[in-house]
Structure 1
């Protein structure tokens, strides 16, 4: 066999580094009301990812997390910012040059059936990336069987077609295809959300085993915070195209700083025995805003319980915003990053502190009553 060229990350460099990454989609329809402004799907996002590390990316639908994953692979072209992989700036590489980089960066998609060609056998699906990149010419069949075994598929599955498999087995096929080129980084876009809970655990355990064997970096995109907590070393929370909080998993889950993170975590189901643990449901106002008409100041302020709590303080300057008084800072100014140490950072004018928990509980009760 002839394996692909080993491109290890340079000394001291993270496997992946993203700086100020942005993407604006422009509506090209002649009479579209949004033709000029466009949709700011990702806005000034920065983070790094080391080999062997998993960075979980969470947020509601419309937060920009899937677009971020596609930007990293250059499946979508960035409007601004820089992407470095293995110490190399890949932002301005041509499509021909990017093709070589994709030997090392692969993607696993949410829909395990829609991402597989129904006309191709499993063996052909797994072999396809090797054919595209001209690898393992002398031992391709052996490599296909090797990768299939790695993901828990049998040799006799090679001649079968995707429709003959369950959802979990189809996802294993997708993982085998991604692993065929021995990548260094996997971008996983909701890889288990379409699967039954029992199958989710199997796929997650498989991914962790593969990561440990090959020292893979994972960019794990999901909306299920329980799954993200299980698989991640660090977590980034996105809202309307921005990372509003990022930090080590345990610190972020135990002491979230951004009100949006607090609200997301409050919605995660807990076992019955833990219901008296003091965690209250925080109900947000309204729906996630539009990326075509972003709010001024902090993008989260129209839904933020903390902004409303602070507005009750007579010492806090307030302004009129959509029929209510809110802190002027939240409405008029973009928040700056607040660093709690150990890489735990949030962008908020009034980040959460331990002494605020009683106020959160009071507001949660009031919001729940009003929502009924």
Structure 2
């Protein structure tokens, strides 16, 4: 069976603009050559630090913003080349849930009107759309009696349920979830995640789940892709990635996840990247993680061909050659690292 979604070498740059008196700023390469597929009924988790390009990628997939290059195919149709009428025809089948449950709902509309809006936009009569909207409230765990309430009368978790109801109202095949639980309390997060799992089990919808919380991603995903400065640097089935990460950036992210057992938390090794995440407007040569990479420093100390860079000695390959996603560890495990087997 062909994938539901195919993303090929997707890129998006933003103009750096001009300073008041100085030269033009360099362009920001927010998404820089990303490729992946998503199967029907599958959840792909997309993780990375703030500034890695996750949210931009999610919007590119749905063509909420235009790509600079690359292609997105959805159910065999080319999304990037679709006309406005063709894109409109695809919209009911591909939806999005936004991060902010407070800012993503129109405060002038009732809950039922918010959920009914995409249905009326695609030809459903208003009376029928409002009836379905009340049913959708029940489907996401809210009382249909709440249909006439406004967003300010709901809690954050309830608002996110309304956003989810709106997204699934047209029975989509794909939903992009942009950090859907990051603004919620931990107990409410669990409720929303269980709701999403129930919706997927009932409808077979596919999720592109964007988050920075690796514990949440592990709970919901079938496969996981790790982004760094616009690139996917590692992608693997969930258990393979969490059990044996191959890219040093993934290792550092996982080592920062707290463990519920205090003794194990105190005893675990913490692998910290050097410094802060770089800028997508000033990408380094070679591997874009090399200025922060603790593995590169260890490998250089073992006597491989090294050069001076980032204030220390680093392997020449890391500094001069841009690694591509390639098999690492067997199966479908991919990593963009020159030394994926180094501890």
Which residue in 2 is equivalent to 1:26?
A: 15
Equivalenced residue count is: 342
Label 1:215 to 1:278 Cα distance change in 2 as closer, same or farther (>3 A): same
Q: CA deviation at 1:128?
A: 0.6
Q: CA deviation at 1:256?
A: 0.1
Distance 1:179 1:32 in 2: 49
* 1:77 and 2:66 matched: yes
Label 1:326 to 1:171 Cα distance change in 2 as closer, same or farther (>3 A): same
Q: Secondary structure at the match of 2:92?
A: coil
Which residue in 2 is equivalent to 1:369?
A: none
Pairing partner for 1:267 from 235, 256, 278:
256
User: TM-score of the superposition, structure 2-length normalised?
Assistant: 0.96
Q: CA deviation at 1:144?
A: 1.1
Pairing partner for 1:148 from 101, 114, 137:
137
Distance 2:108 2:292 in 1: 47
Distance 1:32 1:123 in 2: 51
Is residue 101–residue 160 contact of structure 2 (8 Å, CA) maintained in 1?
Answer: yes
Distance 2:267 2:341 in 1: 16
Is residue 46–residue 210 contact of structure 2 (8 Å, CA) maintained in 1?
Answer: yes
Pairing partner for 1:324 from 305, 308, 312:
312
Q: CA deviation at 1:231?
A: 0.2
User: TM-score of the superposition, structure 1-length normalised?
Assistant: 0.88
Q: Secondary structure at the match of 1:74?
A: coil
Distance 2:265 2:224 in 1: 26
Label 1:349 to 1:241 Cα distance change in 2 as closer, same or farther (>3 A): same
Q: CA deviation at 1:341?
A: 2.4
Which residue in 2 is equivalent to 1:91?
A: 80
Instruction: Structure 2: give runs of 5+ residues left out of the alignment.
Output: none
Q: CA deviation at 1:352?
A: 3.5
Q: Which moved more, 1:150-159 or 1:224-233?
A: 150-159
Q: CA deviation at 1:336?
A: 3.2
Distance 1:151 1:190 in 2: 18
Which residue in 1 is equivalent to 2:55?
A: 66
Pairing partner for 2:104 from 115, 120, 127:
115
What is the aligned-residue RMSD (CA, Å)? 1.7
Label 1:115 to 1:330 Cα distance change in 2 as closer, same or farther (>3 A): same
* 1:333 and 2:317 matched: no
Q: CA deviation at 1:279?
A: 3.7
Is residue 267–residue 281 contact of structure 1 (8 Å, CA) maintained in 2?
Answer: yes
Distance 2:230 2:217 in 1: 19
Label 1:144 to 1:319 Cα distance change in 2 as closer, same or farther (>3 A): same
Q: CA deviation at 1:37?
A: 3.5
